Amino acid sequence: MNRYLDIAPEVAQALAEGRPVVALESTIISHGMPYPQNVETALAVETVIRENGAVPATIAIIGGRLKAGLTADEIEYFGKKGVEITKASRRDLPVLVARGEDGACTVTTTMMIAHMAGISVFATGGIGGVHRGAETTMDISADLEELGQTPVLVVCAGAKSILDLGLTLEYLETKGVPVIGYGTDELPAFYTRKSGFGVDYRIDTPAQLAAAFHAQREMGLKGGMLVTNPIPEEYSMDADVINQAIDQAIAESRAQGIHGKATTPFLLARVKDLTGGDSLDSNIQLVFNNARVAARTAVELAALAKA
């Protein structure tokens, strides 16, 4: 086992027994929501995972240790410290570990640490991708590179609609990442169920998702699988409203010279303000929805591994 990695006892026992485990990211706690909603949501997502038959493993870096599974006190610590914690992507891990510092794990680092721990399924909100205007800024999320090389099944509500969704799909195709629509032929756009872009394949049940990912692993194919799960209809936002808010937030970010890892937190916070908090409510519900699908898929995947 990696000497920098700590696996929580409950998670370690579940893995040793071949029981289903679902990874969860910590950036959503520190950077995605205000306190105390961030802590309440993180604990509630763990409950959803348990209710659907799997063990939750929230992934983070605390005191330079890579953590697969957090205690309630550690989640509270992350929620209170919030944006003071470094948002940690692949490039940040060596320095944070060497310095003994904390890090909030993005999709990229959650995939990395989950794979180190032997966890194959990960539920998140939305992935990063190719930012609008990337043809001049080259602002492309490391999440896409990680999906191309790390064998973890990621359940999300699509790419965040602040991105260039068409270019994001093209990038994933180049990296050989299957983009699956869970019960849909169309890529969901995080806050909304539709984007106008198609997915590679539609799959309708957790058992079918597990079978596809199991086959990918059995063939020794490197890289992950992206499952895009539409936000429930009752929590979906009006496309015009959310797109207007996104356009305004992007214009403000450019005017203020915001770039790199600060871009997504700024845009999500501004969209929340511009929509009167509606986007935060939608964000929470789509994470719950993704957790259910991920847990049920992990249950099916564990059964296949034992067969």
User: Which residues participate in catalysis according to the annotation?
Assistant: 25, 160
Give me the count of residues in the chain. Answer: 307
- Cβ neighbour number for residue 36 with a 10 Å cutoff: 11
Q: CA-to-CA distance for 60 and 72, rounded, in angstroms?
A: 13
Tokens of 219: 């063939």
Close Cβ partners of 271 (under 8 Å, ≥ 6 residues apart): 162, 242, 245, 246, 249, 279
Tokens of 97: 């570990």
Residue 197: alpha-carbon gap to chain centroid: 20
Handedness of CA 273, 275, 278, 284 (dihedral sign): negative
- Cβ neighbour number for residue 285 with a 10 Å cutoff: 17
Report DSSP state, residue 117.
H
For residue 263, what is the enclosing H or E element? helix 263-274
Q: CA-to-CA distance for 184 and 193, rounded, in angstroms?
A: 9
Q: How many CA atoms lie within 13 A of 216 on its CB side?
A: 22
- In a 3-state reduction of DSSP, which class is residue 175? coil
Phi, psi of 204 (to 5 degrees): -110, -10
